[in-house]
A and B are shown apart, each in its own frame.
Chain A
Amino acid sequence: MLVQADRAPAEPILAVRGITKRFPGVLALDHVDLAVEAGDVHAILGQNGAGKTTLMNILFGLVQPDEGALSLRGQRVHFRSPHDAIAQGIGMVHQTRRLVAAHTVLENIVLGHPRVRGLLNLRSARVEVEQLCRRYGFTVDLGARVWQLSEGERQWVEILKALYGGATILILDEPTSVLTPPEVRTLLAGLQALVRDQGVTVLLVTHKLPIVMAASHRVTVLRAGRVVARLRTAEATEELLVQHMIGRDVAFSTMERSAEVGRPLLQVEDLSAFNDRGLLALRGISFSLREGEVLGVAGVTGNGQEELVQVLAGLRPATSGTVRVDGRDVTHLPPLQRWRMGIGYIPAERFEVASIAAFSLVENTTLNYHFDPAYTPRGLLDELGLAQLTRRILSIFNVQAPHHQTRAQHLSGGNLQKLILGRVLLRRPRLLIAHLPTQGLDVEATAFVRAKLLDARAEGAAVVLISEDLDEILSLADWVAPIYEGRFVAVLPRRQADAEIVGAMMAGLPQREAGTG
């Protein structure tokens, strides 16, 4: 809980009135009002899809509102582009990195800066930036290429860039989603220092309650594009905020799990693989899994999870090691053969990889069935059968869609994920690989997906679950494997895995130290 400095009510430094924004088919923001006090850490809380990022994009000039007005320090302002916002002292650090990976840290910081016009004088800029680093207490190698940095370091580079640009109002959009727990602590401490010592105002956009409770002075809650609450954090509780976020009480229940474990199904030995940049991303992963067990791989994105699922699915070659399913060596088997033998894969990118936007729902279902003789007699598509199958998926998995011939692009993220899940699960896979299955989904869809994963487990499937949400892993997994820099730090049975220990392992702290936490 932050200590509140007593301040008399004053003109808010940033005020927003009646902001409305429509995208094709959806009302993203509905007459939103917001007032931010100078020197506050002001949290914008809401679920995924509530409109937080859209609102911030409007504040930063990336998106134009359809209605409404902004005022900064009492003056009416209009941002036609981020250029205008930056000129007025607003800086934004986005959810996904906005850095040019191929360029150096210094080049990224000075990009677009008004003081660096005409000839690129990096030497004088370097001196200034180093001064800035000292003032704010950052250490980062200015000559390093951004792709060489960790996620946490990249985020600091973006913050530094905003400050170098003269930002007095800093917008951070979901800054903690790709950070390890220690990195989160460093960030929050740094933000507090910025606010306390330098008078910076911070807008912190997040869906995570602990962050709001620990780091903010005030909180505005958004739900479905509308402001539903404005509170001082000191007067709020987690339960109250949750109620505002989703509109009604939701019980935080732990999932019911029965234990019927079968014979060994998956054996991975010393698996190694390169990532797209030619660096070793997996370094000797070993584990085994039985039927009816869930392995939860916990870690921050970028530690090899993506490469691990791709190798297990056959979409990336392994450089060494073996993968055995039911005794059979599948290490070099192409994806098609793996789907045929009962492996199911739910990719993290549901729009880019797991589905085809312009295809109908039936055609999307076909993506997992076009090789199945039951649905392709003599090479021809069994259109009736596939349509029937799709309708079954829509009903069993509660997918909200007008018609089975609707195009996938018209489905919301949550419904699309349910379709993908259903499509894969109806094949009754013996090994299920789920990569970030609940990312970006609202509370109901998340609960649904988790329940279905447990159903698969109950039916004897072995499940490899990759998630960034530690709570999700702890509530679903039988085994917890924190992954760090391409290695499993440990493979812990559930009862030995608590949040502190696993969180420390995810950050790469050695097991001995973590044990004393």
Chain B
Amino acid sequence: MWDLLARSLGASTIFLFAALGELVNQRAGVLNVGLEGLMLFGGTAAFITAQTTGSLALGFLAGLLIGGLLGLAHGLFSITLRGDQVVSGMGLWILSFGLTTYLGNAYTGPLGLARIPSVLGLSPFFLLGFVLVAMTWFLLFRTSLGLAIRSAGENPAAAEASGISVLAIRYLCVTFGGVLAGLSGASYTLSYNPVWNYNFLMGWGFVSLALVFFSMWNPWILMAGASLFGIMWQLSLSPELVLPGVLSRYIWRTVPFAITIPILVIISTPWFRTRWGLAKPEALGRPYTRG
């Protein structure tokens, strides 16, 4: 049971890193629906680098770098070129999906390196996740930069008229989001499940995206949500630990995705919206032109 919990927390950090990054760039007003693509590419780059150099650290670095670069690319298209953020996000996803299948194919199989030691029985990534959540919360709500970020996402015209460069803020946040997505992918392929297979994420990225909406853009609620999803995920992978023999394991695999849909529905109802829906950054997804 404890093992299940530990694995669940490990799974939850995958969700957490990606969703946290996305939360920050959504707070600034940029929507990145291609999150799964950045995670895939980051994870693949990390895996390939780690396996060829034998160094986990370099692998992580590669993952962060690729994630950041792809985030930057998304920023270029959506911020400077004022393109449709959904087109760019989808483009990044399919691009990553296609390219990583090809690039990673030669490396299909286990990583073969020493596993990252756990700290007090918990994955070190969980502790890192906790630190990141605390830092993000502090940044967003206790610093002037955070106020600027939140204003850029609510009303970029107001932020600009206050002397803030909405462009710079959004680029910063979208790159940060990319770096964290890369971290998420890297921790998947280097720690949580160090075996490369094509499309290894199988939809996690989109669940992370949903988590950002569920969290109402609050880092602490996000952490709670990610933990819950991590447990649910782990359960769906090994249902025999809790409910042996009930339902085919394939049906269990559908559970995390199936649960997401009713939650999405509930938070979209007028009842929920009028109470808590005001948390959504007003300018999310809309391109901004100065002046």
Contacts and interface: CB of A to CB of B under 8 A. Distances in A.
**Complex contact flag A–B (Cβ < 8 Å):** yes
Interface of A: 57, 60, 62-63, 81-83, 85-87, 92, 94, 96-103, 107-108, 110-113, 116-120, 161, 165, 277-278
Contact of A111 (B164, B165, B274, B282): B164
B154 A112 contact: no
B155 A100 contact: yes
A62 B154 contact: no
Interface string B140-177: 01111011101100110111111111000000000000
Given A62-B291, A117-B144, A119-B142, A103 B150 contact: yes
B154 A100 contact: yes
18 contacts: A57-B291, A60-B161, A62-B161, A81-B160, A81-B163, A83-B164, A85-B163, A100-B154, A103-B147, A107-B147, A108-B158, A110-B147, A111-B147, A112-B148, A117-B144, A118-B144, A120-B141, A120-B143
A278 B274 contact: yes
Given A111-B147, A120-B142, A120-B144, A98 B155 contact: yes
A82 B160 contact: yes
Contact of B163 (A99, A112, A119): A112
Nearest to A80: B165
A101 B154 contact: yes
B161 A92 contact: yes
A101 B164 contact: no
B114 interface: no
A63 B161 contact: no
Given A99-B155, A100-B154, A82 B162 contact: yes
A63 B164 contact: no
Given A81-B165, A97-B158, 6 more contacts: A62-B160, A100-B150, A103-B151, A112-B162, A116-B144, A278-B274
Interface string B10-22: 0000000000000
A81 B166 CA distance: 11
Contacts, number: 87
A81 B282 CA distance: 23
What does DSSP make chain A's interface, helix, strand, loop or mixed? Answer: loop
A83 B166 CA distance: 11
Nearest to A102: B154
Contacts of A165: 163
B157 A98 contact: yes
A447 B163 CA distance: 40
B278 interface: yes
A101 B144 contact: no
Contact of B148 (A60, A102, A111): A111
Nearest to B275: A278
A100 B144 contact: no
B7 to A, nearest CB: 39
Contact of A119 (B143, B159, B282, B290): B143
Nearest to B138: A119
A102 B278 contact: yes
A103 B142 CA distance: 14
Contacts of A87: 163
Enumerate the 7 nearest inter-chain pairs by beta-carbon distance, A residue then B residue, closest first. Answer: A112-B162, A83-B163, A62-B291, A98-B161, A98-B158, A278-B274, A63-B291
Contacts of A97: 158
B146 A82 contact: no
Contacts of A103: 147, 150-151, 154
Nearest to A96: B157
A107 B154 CA distance: 13
Contacts of B162: 82, 86, 98, 111-113, 161
A277 B270 CA distance: 11
Interface in B113-161: 141-144, 146-148, 150-151, 154-155, 157-161
B131 to A, nearest CB: 19
Contacts of B274: 277-278
A102 B282 contact: yes
Given A62-B290, A81-B165, A118-B144, A111 B157 contact: no
Contacts of A85: 163
Nearest to B141: A120
B164 A94 contact: no
Contacts of A110: 144, 147
Contacts of B158: 97-100, 108, 111
A120 B146 contact: yes
A83 B168 CA distance: 13
A181 to B, nearest CB: 27
A100 B165 contact: no
B163 to A, nearest CB: 4
Contacts of A278: 274
Contacts of B278: 102, 277
A118 B143 contact: yes
Contacts of A108: 158
Contacts of A118: 143-144
A120 B291 CA distance: 27
A307 B196 CA distance: 56
Contacts of B157: 94, 96, 98
A112 B168 CA distance: 13
Contact of A82 (B144, B148, B161): B161
A278 B277 CA distance: 11
Contacts of B163: 81-83, 85-87, 112, 165
Contacts of B143: 118-120
A101 B155 contact: yes
Nearest to A94: B161
